[in-house]
């Protein structure tokens, strides 16, 4: 094309072309473990990072490659790497950055699984997380020291569905020579493109809105190509010679997509959280309709949030798309096309009312996921955030009265009717 393709065109076409062997228009599922080399020199070039190509599906796969190129195009990054899950992608990101004794600053309003991973599992690597408050960005800066390696936030925080001021936190990261990592799962690149607002690395749980149909697990990291990995000397994985690759310096060799390369050839190769070709295919298929689905999600969600805000049994609704919401200005700044599909509200009856309400719903599915075509519900205090203390639950936006909704693409009148009948039983 002579013109730059639009978002919807990229969602369908980026990275893909008819299969050269068969002419198949859909990207094939390359269900193979390994690939034949042309000769010994070809194999040596691949293993020495002197040529690009397929070696082993734990490291790369042609179906996966199409997914990665499409994600990089949609996020405005230089390269991407798909992984077995969002958690797997996060491990690969921090593996590139951290050494034992290092720390990173993370927003305290995150997906409960990320809070658990950062606060507990990462301790086994000798990595320390320091929690900061997105409502007071000075708490990010005040905790930075000479062993701090990154700042981590969500663009649209889970479970509260609140927007974060990416640019302000990005300014702090740049002042201290740190990369800003943004989890863009709930917003998707249709609503927010964090790299345009100062992010250096974007991560996703592809399981959610990107795949969109609740049928496959996957994760990804996108390299923004914006960070100088050699300047400070704090990131030896990228700035120092790698003995396993004949002394190559990855940042020097691969430039603005070195981070994604390092995550693949140093992290994915050895840690092994590889996405399956079949899951990559399913996520690719879902990705084609991302713009259509996200707009319907947003349109339905604003209707539902408005209806709930006027219900006598509802104490509060936290949805940035509502004009009076404290987060409305950030939503208009970062996500003018809509406020997303996931939000929380509080029931006047507290914990017990939340449990009864969830059990009374019929159209909504009660499960620990978001981003499906179907409407989903969960009571975080009794499920996803149960492992946290009461204080941590409140700080994470998952207090005892809190119910989280992920609004699907059904007829909005049916969604409202189900909520109405369930509230009638509380």
pLDDT tens digit string along 124-134? Answer: 999 999 999 99
Across residues 246-270, what is the average pLDDT? 97
More confident residue, 1 or 122: 122
pLDDT for the residue numbered 383: 78
pLDDT, tens digit, for every residue of 194-225? 999 999 999 999 999 999 999 999 999 999 99
Is 380 in the same domain as 295? Answer: yes
- Residues of the domain holding 361: 290-423
Q: What is the reported pLDDT for 394?
A: 76
Report how far residue 13's alpha carbon sits from residue 56's, in angstroms, rounded to the nearest whole number. Answer: 25
What is the pLDDT, as a whole number, of residue 68?
A: 98
Tens digits of residue pLDDT in 375-409: 999 988 777 777 777 787 777 677 888 999 999 99
Q: Are residues 163 and 183 in the same domain?
A: yes
Find the CATH number of the domain harbouring 303.
Answer: 3.90.1150.10
Question: What integer is the mean pLDDT of 320-329?
Answer: 95
Cross-strand bridge partners of residue 75: none
Residues in contact with 352: Cβ distance below 8 Å, sequence separation at least 6, in sequence order: none
Are 239 and 362 members of one domain? no
The angle subtended at Cα 166 by Cα 164 and Cα 170, nearest 5°, is 140
Domain shared by 211 and 341, yes or no? no
Cα torsion 368, 369, 372, 377: sign: positive
Task: Please report whether residue 2 resides in a domain.
Answer: no
223 and 191 both lie in a single domain: yes
User: Residue 302's pLDDT band (boundaries 50, 70, 90)?
Assistant: very high
Task: List, in sequence order, every residue forming a beta bridge with 154; answer none if it has no partner.
Answer: 183
Domain boundary among 229, 261, 286: 286
264 and 163 share one domain: yes
Mean pLDDT of 59-83: 98
Question: What are the beta bridge partners of residue 131?
Answer: 106
pLDDT at residue 263 greater than cutoff 90:
yes
pLDDT value for 413: 98
Residue 189 belongs to a domain:
yes
Query: In the prediction, which pLDDT does 298 show?
Result: 98
Per-residue pLDDT at 112: 82
Residue 393: its pLDDT value, please? 76
Quickly list DSSP for 269-285: HHH--PPPHHHHHHHHH
Boundary of a domain, candidates 264, 286, 308: 286
Report whether 298 contacts 341 (CB < 8 A).
yes
- CA 426 centroid distance within chain: 34
Same domain, 211 and 276: yes
279 and 359 part of one domain: no
For residues 53 and 81, membership in a common domain is answered with yes
Whether residue 36 is found in the same domain as residue 169: yes
Strand ranges for 40-127 from DSSP E = 79-83, 103-107
Please check whether residue 126 lies inside any domain of the structure.
Answer: yes
Q: How far apart are CA 230 and CA 367, in angstroms?
A: 44
Task: Tell me, yes or no, whether 265 and 297 share the same domain.
Answer: no
pTM of structure: 0.95
CA nearest 382: which of 374, 371, 390, 373?
390
Of 155-159, 283-287, 369-373, the range with the lowest mean pLDDT is: 155-159
Average pLDDT over residues 31-57: 95
Flag whether 22 is in a domain: yes
User: Alpha helices, DSSP H only, in 217-309?
Assistant: 236-239, 250-254, 258-262, 269-271, 277-287, 290-309
- Give the residue from 251, 286, 321 where a domain finishes: 286
Mean pLDDT score, 55-73? 97
Name the least confident of 68-72, 91-95, 102-106, 346-350. Answer: 346-350
pLDDT attached to residue 350:
86
pLDDT of 345 above 70: yes
| CA gap 374, 214 in Å, rounded | 9
Predicted confidence (pLDDT) at residue 346 exceeds the cutoff of 90: yes
Residues 279 and 335 in one domain: no
pLDDT score, position 1 = 59
pLDDT, average across residues 155-173: 93
Whether 1 maps to a domain, the answer reads: no
Residue 87 CA to residue 95 CA, distance in Å, equals 12
Question: Which CATH number characterizes residue 28's domain?
Answer: 3.40.640.10
The domain tally of the chain equals: 2
């Amino acid at each position: 094309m002579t013109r730059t393709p639009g978002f919807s065109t990229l969602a369908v076409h980026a990275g893909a072309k008819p299969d050269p062997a068969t002419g198949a228009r859909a990207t094939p599922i390359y269900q193979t473990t390994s690939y034949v080399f042309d000769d010994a020199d070809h194999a040596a070039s691949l293993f020495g990072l002197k040529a690009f190509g397929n070696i082993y599906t734990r490291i790369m796969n042609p179906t996966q490659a199409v997914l990665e190129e499409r994600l990089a195009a949609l996020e405005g990054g230089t390269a991407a790497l798909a992984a077995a899950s969002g958690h797997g992608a996060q491990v690969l990101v921090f593996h590139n950055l951290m050494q034992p004794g290092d720390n990173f600053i993370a927003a305290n309003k995150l997906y409960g699984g990320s809070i658990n991973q950062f606060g507990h599992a990462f301790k086994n690597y000798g990595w320390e997380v320091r929690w900061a408050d997105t409502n007071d960005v000075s708490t990010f800066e005040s905790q930075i020291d000479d062993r701090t390696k990154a700042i981590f936030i969500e663009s649209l925080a889970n479970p509260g569905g609140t927007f974060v001021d990416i640019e302000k936190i990005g300014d702090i990261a740049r002042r201290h020579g740190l990369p800003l990592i943004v989890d863009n799962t709930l917003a998707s690149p249709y609503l927010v493109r964090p790299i345009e607002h100062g992010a250096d690395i974007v991560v996703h749980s592809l399981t959610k809105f990107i795949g969109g149909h609740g049928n496959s697990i996957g994760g990804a990291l996108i390299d923004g190509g914006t960070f100088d990995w050699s300047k400070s000397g704090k990131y030896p994985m990228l700035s120092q010679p790698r003995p396993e690759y004949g002394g190559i310096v990855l940042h020097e060799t691969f430039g603005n997509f070195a981070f994604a390369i390092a995550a693949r050839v140093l992290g994915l190769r050895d840690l092994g959280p590889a996405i399956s070709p079949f899951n990559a295919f399913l996520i690719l298929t879902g990705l084609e309709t991302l713009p259509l689905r996200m707009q319907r999600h947003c349109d339905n969600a604003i209707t539902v949030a408005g209806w709930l805000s006027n219900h006598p049994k509802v104490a509060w609704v936290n949805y940035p798309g509502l004009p009076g919401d404290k987060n409305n200005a950030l939503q208009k700044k970062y996500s003018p096309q809509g406020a997303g599909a996931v939000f929380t509200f509080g029931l006047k009856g507290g914990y017990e009312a939340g449990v009864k309400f969830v059990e009374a719903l019929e159209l909504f599915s009660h499960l620990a996921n978001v981003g499906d075509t179907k409407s989903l519900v969960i009571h975080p205090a009794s499920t996803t955030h149960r492992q946290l203390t009461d204080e941590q639950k409140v700080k994470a936006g998952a207090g005892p009265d809190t119910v989280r909704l992920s609004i699907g693409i059904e007829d909005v009148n049916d969604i409202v009717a189900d909520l109405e009948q369930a509230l009638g039983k509380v």
